[in-house]
Amino acid sequence: MSTKKFASQADLEEKKVSFTRISEHAWAYTAEGDPNTGIVIGDDAVLVADTQATPAMAADVIRRIREVTDKPIRYVVLTHYHAVRVLGASAYGAQQILASQDTYDLIVERGEADKASEIGRFPRLFRNVETVPAGLTWPTMTFTGKMTLWLGKLEVQLLQLGRGHTKGDTVVWLPGEKTLLSGDLVEFDATPYAGDAYFRDWPQTLDNVAALNPTALVPGRGAALVGEQQVAAGLAGTRAFIADMWASVRAGVAAGKDLNAVYKDTYAALKPKYGHWVIFDHCMPFDVTRCYDEATQHRDPRVWTAERDRQMWETLEG
């Protein structure tokens, strides 16, 4: 394995943005494997799920929303706490920033460390980082389990269906049109980032997503999924990656191998099947490290700091 440039620092290529309507009230802002934003246009207001990494990047989302509606953007939903998802929030001027209480708790516990870590990992996504106001993005309203919003007559449910990508994962569900904004619980042709994940829980959480029978889905990364077959493919791909990594790492741990050996084995095992997915090389060291932690002694994810990122990368890729 040659020494790879740290995380996504070599990734400087502009991505082509798509803005597509996926059901009567829902739109997907996608960019070839970069973090997606989901938009719900209700009778009297707009809801935006996941804000982009900076206000400068959020401005492009707003520009596209304004091409189709002049209704006020009243709600921003944080599907989870990662900086790349939340630091653009200030641009929307929303009345409410909504998140699960678990997500709020994670911002308290590790928001600052995560922000510094992610800015170091993704220079292209945080190019206009000076447009982020000082401090963190704080929810103005939190919930546990389920919360229902009414955008006029349009019912929008915020649901916690279980732990997966993080302990705070929230999905946005439009029951009337079977449309789901999943955040990073589901990816499509993009490698799940699992550095803060719960490997034991994630497959069951995906079952809970599937039980809603969505017919349109905006994943955290990758193209919007329209139709039962595409949605099923997104769920199956995400599940297979998580299950394959957990199986490989657990086998290595059972054989008494250390993290380095487990990493090399797991990289080799998963590369043929998933190596073509976006950010595969970026995610693998973080994912295997977290998986190894969970399989050995850390039920809950440890905090990533910029320093820990670098040490881990040196250990596994240096």
Q: What letter would DSSP give residue 63?
A: H
Spatial separation of the C-alpha atoms in residues 300 and 168, rounded to whole Å: 12
pLDDT at position 129, please? 82
Residue 12 pLDDT: 56
CATH number for the domain harbouring residue 144 = 3.60.15.10
pLDDT band, very low/low/confident/very high, at 3 (cuts 50, 70, 90): low
Q: What is the mean pLDDT of residues 233-259?
A: 98
Strand partners, 20: 28
Burial letters 298-312, b for 16+ CB under 10 A, else e: eeebeebbbeebeeb
The C-alpha atoms of residue 279 and residue 246 are separated, in whole angstroms, by 19
216 with 176: CB under 8 angstroms? no
Specify if 235 maps to a domain. yes
If residue 208 lies in a helix (H) or strand (E), which one and from where to where? helix 202-210
259 found inside a domain: no
In tens, the pLDDT along 12-57 reads 567 789 999 999 999 999 998 899 999 999 999 999 999 999 999 9
d(CA 22, CA 102): 29
In contact, 46 and 72? CB cutoff 8 Å: yes
Asked if residue 67 is part of any domain, the answer here is yes
Nearest CA to 42 among 73, 64, 76, 18?
73
Look at residue 288 and tell me if it is in a domain.
no
What would the pLDDT profile of 133-189 be if each residue is shown by its tens digit?
A: 888 899 999 999 999 999 999 999 999 999 999 999 999 999 999 999 999 999 999
Residue 44 belongs to some domain of the structure: yes
Q: Is residue 237 part of a domain?
A: yes
pTM of the model: 0.94
Calculate the alpha carbon distances from 79 to 48, 56, 170, 249 in Å. Answer: 10, 20, 5, 28
Residue 290: inside a domain = no
Checking 134-137 for CB contacts under 8 A at 24+ apart, the result is: 136/86, 136/107, 136/111, 136/112, 137/51, 137/78, 137/86, 137/87, 137/89, 137/90, 137/97, 137/107
Return the half-sphere exposure (C-beta side, CA atoms, 13 A cut-off) of residue 195. 21
Secondary structure (3-state) at 129 = helix
Q: Is residue 276 part of a domain?
A: no
Cα angle for residues 282, 236, 78 (degrees, 5° grid) = 60
| Tally of domains within the chain | 1
pLDDT at 58 over 90: yes
Domain region containing 136: 18-243
Return the SS3 of 148.
strand
